[in-house]
Amino acid sequence: MPDFTDLTPLAPWREIRATEADRTALDPETGRTMLSQLCLIRAFEEKVLDLAGRGLVHGPAHSAIGQEGGAVGSALAMRPTDQVNGSHRAHHQFLAKALAYVAEAGIDPEAEFDGEIRDLSKKTLAEIMGLAQGFCRGRGGSMHLRWAEAGNLGTNAIVGGGVPMAAGAAWAHQQAGTGDVVYTYFGDGAVNIGSVLETMNLAAAWKLPICFFIENNRYAVSTHVSEATAEPRLSARGLGFGIPAFKVDGMDALSVLIASHEANRIMRAGEGPVVIEADLYRYFHQNGPLPGSAFGYRDKAEEAEWRARDPIEGLAGLLQTRQIIGEDAVAGLRARCAAMMEEIAGELTETVEGKTRVIPSLWPEESFRDAGLRGDLSEMDGARYEEEDSFSGALDANAKFIDAVANVMHRRMDTDERIVVLGEDVHRLKGGTNGATRGLSQDFPDRCLGTPIAENAFTGLAAGMAADGRVRPVIEFMYPDFMWVAADQVFNQIGKARHMFGGDSPMPLVLRTKVAMGTGYGSQHSMDPAGIFATAPGWRIVAPSTPFDYVGLMNSALRCDDPVLVIEHVDLYASKGAAPVDDLDYCIPLGKAKVVRPGARLTILTYLAMVEKTRQVVEDLGVDAEIIDLRSLDRASLDWETIEASIRKTNNVLIVEQGARGTSYGGMLADELQRRVFDWLDQPVQRVTGGEASPSISKVLEAAACARPADIARAIRAAMADQGLPLAAE
Query: Active-site positions?
Result: 455, 525
The answer to whether 502 touches 140, Cβ cutoff 8 Å, is yes
The Cα-based distances of 235 to 67, 200, 226, 276 in angstroms read 17, 12, 14, 7
Of 184, 183, 181, 165, whose CA–CA distance to 173 is shortest?
Answer: 181
Q: Alpha helix (H) ranges present in 54-180?
A: 68-75, 91-102, 115-128, 163-176
Residue 237: DSSP 8-state: G
Residue 535: burial class (beta carbons within 10 Å; 0-12, 13-18, 19+): middle
What is the rounded CA–CA span in Å between residue 504 and residue 569? 33
What is the rounded CA–CA span in Å between residue 96 and residue 321? 25
Q: Alpha helix (H) ranges present in 630-680?
A: 640-650, 665-676
β-sheet with 602-606: strand ranges across? 594-597, 625-629, 602-606, 653-656, 686-688
What is the rounded CA–CA span in Å between residue 618 and residue 626? 9
The answer to whether 652 touches 603, Cβ cutoff 8 Å, is yes
Of 596, 355, 566, whose CA–CA distance to 480 is shortest?
Answer: 566
Residue 273: burial class (beta carbons within 10 Å; 0-12, 13-18, 19+): buried
Of 218, 226, 202, 251, whose CA–CA distance to 65 is shortest?
Answer: 251
The Cα-based distances of 724 to 13, 335, 622, 652, 728 in angstroms read 79, 83, 16, 12, 12
The CA-based dihedral angle spanning residues 247, 252, 254, 257, taken in that order and rounded to the nearest 10 degrees: 40
First to last CA, the chain: 93
What is the rounded CA–CA span in Å between residue 247 and residue 259? 8
DSSP 268-312: HTT---EEEEEE---SB-SSSSSBGGGGTSS-HHHHHHHHTT-HH
Of 367, 338, 390, whose CA–CA distance to 41 is shortest?
Answer: 338
Rg, Å, the chain Cα set: 29
Q: Alpha helix (H) ranges present in 326-416?
A: 327-348, 401-415
What is the rounded CA–CA span in Å between residue 614 and residue 627? 8
What is the rounded CA–CA span in Å between residue 646 and residue 642? 6
Residue 704: burial class (beta carbons within 10 Å; 0-12, 13-18, 19+): middle
The answer to whether 456 touches 488, Cβ cutoff 8 Å, is yes
AA identity, residue 694: S
